Amino acid sequence: MAARPTLLRLDRVLANLGYATRSTAAGLLRDGRVLVDGVEMRDAATKVDPQAVTLDGEPLDHPCGVLVALHKPAGLVCSHDESEGPLVYDLLPFRWTARTPVVTSAGRLDKDTSGILILTDDSPLVHRLTSPKHHVTKEYEAILDRPVPADAVEAFASGTLTLRNENRPCAPADLAVTGERTCTVTMTEGRYHQVRRMFSAIGAEVESLHRRVFGPWRLGVNGLDLAPGEWCDINPPQ
């Protein structure tokens, strides 16, 4: 049996989805711009299924929540603070910045790293995707400033590699050498700048870093053939 839709106050629906504040929603209703199942609605307190609401004849945008994959270009930051530089959120519909809960990233990519980024307003899902106990897989393609060190594969897999200013060693990670200065790293941790710091710990620096895989989502397959800056809706993980 299908789950019954969650019913919310009409003014709360409009506010949560970024169309109005709770107070300005009253004006939209008063002007007859809001319909529920095709019926003009004036009472802000009426509890409705968000999927049944239209504004100016158009369905509401993502009424059941946002879950998208974004191909993050290098040069953007995963922050809501404009003082930190150009934001990944600038690539999304402007109204999403006014949604409650706010649309945020499940984990971050640093400014100079490109690749797949998952964005959602589902806070429990963010926790599930970022909690260390869930061991979500991430795969990165790295270009180094020198040939891949001879001991890199062993060091990454050892479970003893320790980052600067940390005491707890990194969990084992798989490193596959793909060229003289290129390799692929598969890991389940997500510490601050971890891939770059792991290479630094063995004497190499990362010149370019790209995340191809995050959990069940992989750029380039299953509808995720996204150019840098593009995004698309995705299904929740099973």
- What structural domains does the chain harbor? 8-59 (3.10.290.10), 67-131+226-233 (3.30.70.580), 137-214 (3.30.70.1560)
pLDDT digits (tens, 9 = 90+) for 81-93: 999 999 999 999 9
What are the tens digits of pLDDT across the range 184-193? 999 999 999 9
Which of these is catalytic: 43, 110, 225, 233? 110
Task: Give the model confidence (pLDDT) of 201-229 as tens digits.
Answer: 999 999 999 999 999 999 998 789 999 99
Give the pLDDT of residue 24: 94
pLDDT bin (cut points 50, 70, 90) of residue 5 is confident
Residue 3 has pLDDT above 80, yes or no: no
pLDDT digits (tens, 9 = 90+) for 6-44: 899 999 999 999 999 988 999 999 999 999 999 999 999
Q: Which pLDDT tens digit goes with each residue over 147-158? A: 999 999 999 999
Active site (annotated) includes residue 110: yes
pLDDT, tens digit, for every residue of 53-68?
999 999 999 999 999 9
The full 3-state SS of the chain, as one line of letters, equals CCCCCCCEEHHHHHHHCCCCCCCCHHHHHHCCCEEECCEECCCCCCEECHHHEEECCEECCCCCCCEEEEEECCCCECCCCHHHCCEHHHHCCHHHHHCCCCCEECCCCCCCEEEEEEEECCHHHHHHHHCHHHCCCEEEEEEECCCCCCCHHHHHHCCCCCCCCCCCCCCCCEEEECCCCEEEEEECCCCCCHHHHHHHHCCCCEEEEEEEEECCEECCCCCCCCCCCCEEECCCCC
